[in-house]
Chains A and B, each alone.
Chain A
Amino acid sequence: MTLTLKTWTEAAEVSEFAIETVGLTRHFGDVLAVENLSLHVPRSSVYGFLGPNGAGKTTTIRMLLGLTRPDRGGIRFFDQSITPANRRAILGRIGAMVETPSLYAHLTGYENLQITQGLLGLHRSKIERALLIVRLEQDAHRLVSAYSHGMRQRLGLALALLAEPELLILDEPTNGLDPAGIQEMRELILGFPSEHGITVFLSSHLLAEIEQLASGIGIIGRGQLLFEGTLEALQRYRRARVVVRVDRPALACDVLREGGWTAVPTDASGLTVYVSEAADIAHAATALVSAGLQLYQLQTVRPSLEDLFLELTRDVHLGAGSGQGSGVSR
């Protein structure tokens, strides 16, 4: 289930979006890569576009940048639809890094930036500025072929920052980086909204990374948007599980199911019950005891956000989670 737009705007007090897509769809032959995607990326925030590999993240980003044409659907940047007339004006406000950074290995870092600077007719000083932000001033005049992976990623980021964009679209910017590199990239990205007023749209397949960076999240799986909202909103979907050990598990299951809970036997003496809050656990326990069962163990297991993410993206959609008995729809 996806949070509705209304909830999102209420929750985040958002009045304006840097990116909005409506029903974005794209096939590749028989494969539906992206289906009916409707994203809303608030201004001056870091938005994490999360999904497993092959979910459609890169295809979505390519459609945003005009590299791949969508079959259906619309895209709006800064409340404007893209037309051939305003395409260049809008792209001028966007900086991007898609998949691996696009670099000329036989040139130096500085020369790479120079090419884009020349193509865009920017002033030379922008090159130094971009290098300073990504901390590559020392290595700017070395050949890119001698760069480490982290330096290449930073140069790619510098290329995206060259024209002083209002919106940065980054496709897995920490891909292949070592922990030090990841931290460096994270610090850079976190600073963009606050220090430069830049909106950052970044994709990743790592929830941990997004948790650290993003204030808003969109989760994509098999080309569909599974969730969009704040991290806190996502937390609310983490329904606790209670592991129960009783003398007669089969009877316990019946009792709980009659009461409207979802109960699943796990082994000879145990079963798992899905509850949504602490009070619920107490009610379940009371029901069991009232039925004459002997309760040996009652243990709450709260799934991590990671488990939740895996569950979500394994083609499972969350039902409306409240109170008792809401099953996980398959």
Chain B
Amino acid sequence: MEVLKLRRTLALWASLLVPGAVIVMTTAMNLSRAPGTRFDPDQPNSWDSLMLDLVLFLWCLVGLAPFIALETALLAGLEHRENTWKHLYALPIRRWTIYMPKILVAFALVCVSSLVLAVGTALEGEVLISIRPDLGLAPHIPWGLILLRSFSFVPAVLLVLALQTWVAIRWRSFTVAIGLGIGATVIGIMLLRSLKNIESTPYGPVLASLFPWSLPYVVIARQATSELRDTALIAGVVGGLLVAVLGCWEVVRRDAP
């Protein structure tokens, strides 16, 4: 039913356009690279270099958080607009069946965006191979790798999804939810500096695993140890489930708006 509500909205378009914008950006960046530079020659797989260092780096840093803020605000906004909450709360249904599907659908939209990223990267690769073969991108598209990378951080996203959903439902104003997403993005960028020195600074990994919006980045970061990656994934999933349940409980026990 939640999916039916998304008809004629921007929800699905956003899943296409926001990651699409990242692809377009990175393609432009790559096309305009100075001649002589190549995708990291130390990497055994040049595609990994494209994916991790560029596409996913940009996506997890500045694309994902605003995207999630937008989608969750949209899903909540559908009800806020004409206060359909009062109708739903008066129905003979369990109230958590009004709240939880919003998180599930947002998660599905994130998965769609990852798929778009994967396909987009493949397309980008094709373009680069034909126009800039000097960049050294391997000629065969490694679909397995691309898909793996594109979906590797998705479980870690659950915590942010749960947080943003709670905020978007709890506060009627679209601005609050979007503001949170953008503010968190900025903080994430600043935390990145500590992540760069991940081996030398003790605080870096701690902050990274505590800040929900950084978790996806930690999963894909080259410098992260596998322990850190696992911590981030677990934190995302467990934290996400916890916040989802708590947020749901907090919202449904209140009077309907």
A residues near B (Cβ < 8 Å) are 62, 65-69, 87-92, 94, 96, 98-100, 102-107, 111, 114-116, 118-120, 143, 159, 163
> Is the beta-carbon distance between B90 and A65 smaller than 8 angstroms?
yes
* A102-B87, A119-B93 known; A68+B256 contact, CB < 8 A: yes
Contacts of A116 in B (CB 8 A): 87, 91
Q: B144 to chain A: closest CB distance in Å? A: 38
Contacts of B90 in A (CB 8 A): 65-67, 91, 94, 96, 98
**Residue among B5, B8, B9, B92 making CB contact with A92, cutoff 8 Å:** B92
Q: List 18 A-B contacts (CB under 8 A).
A: A62-B86, A62-B255, A67-B86, A67-B89, A67-B255, A68-B255, A68-B256, A94-B90, A96-B87, A96-B90, A98-B87, A103-B84, A106-B8, A115-B5, A119-B1, A120-B92, A120-B93, A143-B8
**Residue among A68, A114, A159 making CB contact with B87, cutoff 8 Å:** A159
Closest B residue, CB atoms, query A159: B87
* Cα A104 to Cα B1 with chains together (Å): 13
> Is the beta-carbon distance between B86 and A107 smaller than 8 angstroms?
no
> Is the beta-carbon distance between B94 and A88 smaller than 8 angstroms?
yes
* Cα A90 to Cα B92 with chains together (Å): 8
Which B residues from 170 to 198 make CB contacts under 8 A with A? none
Contacts of A143 in B (CB 8 A): 8
Contacts of B42 in A (CB 8 A): none
Contacts of A118 in B (CB 8 A): 1, 4
19 other A-B residue contacts (CB within 8 Å) besides A104-B82, A107-B5, A107-B7: A65-B90, A67-B86, A67-B255, A67-B256, A87-B92, A89-B92, A91-B90, A92-B92, A96-B90, A98-B87, A102-B88, A104-B78, A104-B84, A105-B81, A106-B8, A107-B8, A114-B1, A114-B4, A119-B88
> Is the beta-carbon distance between A106 and B7 smaller than 8 angstroms?
yes
Q: Is B97 an interface residue when CB atoms closer than 8 A count as contact?
A: yes
Contacts of B8 in A (CB 8 A): 106-107, 143
* Cα A89 to Cα B94 with chains together (Å): 11
Q: A151 to chain B: closest CB distance in Å? A: 15
> Is the beta-carbon distance between B91 and A119 smaller than 8 angstroms?
yes
Which B residues from 67 to 109 make CB contacts under 8 A with A? 78, 81-94, 97
Q: A155 to chain B: closest CB distance in Å? A: 11
> Is the beta-carbon distance between B93 and A99 smaller than 8 angstroms?
no
> Is the beta-carbon distance between B256 and A62 smaller than 8 angstroms?
yes
**Residue among A66, A115, A159 making CB contact with B1, cutoff 8 Å:** A115
* Cα A163 to Cα B92 with chains together (Å): 10
Contacts of B5 in A (CB 8 A): 104, 107, 115
* A107-B7, A111-B7, A118-B1 known; A102+B93 contact, CB < 8 A: no
* A89-B92, A98-B90 known; A119+B97 contact, CB < 8 A: yes
Q: A67 to chain B: closest CB distance in Å? A: 4
**Residue among B78, B81, B82, B91 making CB contact with A120, cutoff 8 Å:** B91
> Is the beta-carbon distance between B89 and A66 smaller than 8 angstroms?
yes
Q: B28 to chain A: closest CB distance in Å? A: 34
Q: A216 to chain B: closest CB distance in Å? A: 23
Contacts of B97 in A (CB 8 A): 119
* Cα A99 to Cα B7 with chains together (Å): 26
Of the listed residues B7, B85, B89, B92, the one surrounded by the most CB atoms of chain A closer than 10 A to its CB is B92
Q: A327 to chain B: closest CB distance in Å? A: 42
Of the listed residues B9, B87, B94, B97, the one surrounded by the most CB atoms of chain A closer than 10 A to its CB is B87
Contacts of B85 in A (CB 8 A): 102
Closest A residue, CB atoms, query B84: A102
Contacts of B255 in A (CB 8 A): 62, 67-69
Contacts of A68 in B (CB 8 A): 255-256
* A67-B255, A107-B5 known; A88+B92 contact, CB < 8 A: yes
Q: A164 to chain B: closest CB distance in Å? A: 13
* Cα A174 to Cα B88 with chains together (Å): 22
Contacts of B256 in A (CB 8 A): 62, 67-68
* Cα A98 to Cα B1 with chains together (Å): 22
